Amino acid sequence: MIRINDAIEELIQTNDFLAFGLHHDLLNLSQLARFLQPVIEARTLKEVQVSAIQMNLSRIKRRKQQLAPTPLADFYIDKINIHTDLISFTVAKSAQAHSDLNEVYNAIRKRGGFMTITEGISEITSILEKDHFEVARDTMRDSLRHIHRDLASVGVKFNEKFLEVPGVLHAMLQMVAMQGINVLEVSSTATEFIIYILKHQVNLAFESILTRFGKDRPKQPW
């Protein structure tokens, strides 16, 4: 059975937000202990008092300068880019929708355009360039729902050595969320991650991610 202190240490080592907050004395330990209580209980498989969590957090905070850097502290991105003038739409999942989307994708590919398709349990969402939206509108026989215009994307590529580092994608989303930016869609491959947001916020998202995770940024102690 894992000890309370060990459970908290593991959380801090794998959570950039907690490590950052403790390092810079940004967190109310009493409130943080209450927030972490169910997480700690799930890890330790026993009831844990808030006071016990707070006491351990205080100890960790006092020696935060001696804590080993988290694996996430070494994470950096190799490339980052912006793609503007995008539109997204959603359709109900069906055989007809699959057929129509395939036709749209082939037409846009012949034009040399950009299009992504994400399939969920009951819906399919596609993102494409504004110049090609009429192809989708004219081809899709099912009604288009949740249309978002004036979208843009921020895409990053990182080294495959970071694939086993916990919290990489969360950390990038966190930087965007801290700026009050609403992420409308996301997509990813093994070493690429793309967020889709409103066009007027794309520069802020770009700078937030690059400043925190750019390869040449100053080394962070957490």
The mean-pLDDT minimum among 28-37, 120-129, 171-180, 193-202 falls in 171-180
Is there a single domain that holds both residue 28 and residue 137? no
- For the cut 80, the answer to whether the pLDDT of residue 205 exceeds it is yes
pLDDT score of 74: 82
Number of residues that make up the chain? 222
Number of structural domains (the chain) is 2
Is there a single domain that holds both residue 182 and residue 219? yes
- For the cut 90, the answer to whether the pLDDT of residue 23 exceeds it is no
- For the cut 50, the answer to whether the pLDDT of residue 21 exceeds it is yes
Residue 104's DSSP bridge partners are none
Is there a single domain that holds both residue 90 and residue 198? yes
pLDDT score of 218: 58
Instruction: Classify residue 42 as exposed, middle or buried by CB count within 10 Å of its CB (0-12, 13-18, 19+).
Output: exposed
pLDDT score of 20: 76
Domain final residue, candidates 32, 50, 67: 67
Nearest residue to 116 via CA among 80, 63, 155, 61? 155
Give mean pLDDT, residues 124-132. Answer: 95
- For the cut 70, the answer to whether the pLDDT of residue 92 exceeds it is yes
Is there a single domain that holds both residue 39 and residue 137? no
* CATH code of residue 213: 3.30.2130.10
Q: Could you tell me the residue range of the domain that residue 16 belongs to?
A: 4-67
Is there a single domain that holds both residue 61 and residue 122? no
Is there a single domain that holds both residue 185 and residue 76? yes
pLDDT digits (tens, 9 = 90+) for 46-71: 999 999 999 999 988 887 655 555 66
pTM of the predicted protein model: 0.71
Is there a single domain that holds both residue 45 and residue 132? no
Structure tokens at 187: 């997509």
CA–CA distances in Å: residue 112 to residues 56, 105, 179? 57, 10, 34
Residue 216 or residue 160, greater confidence: 160
Structure tokens at 196: 């889709």
pLDDT score of 15: 74
Is there a single domain that holds both residue 24 and residue 113? no
pLDDT score of 222: 45
Is there a single domain that holds both residue 119 and residue 172? yes
With a pLDDT cut of 90, the percent of the chain lying above it is 66
Is there a single domain that holds both residue 35 and residue 90? no
The mean-pLDDT minimum among 72-76, 87-91, 132-136, 154-158 falls in 72-76
Instruction: Classify residue 25 as exposed, middle or buried by CB count within 10 Å of its CB (0-12, 13-18, 19+).
Output: exposed
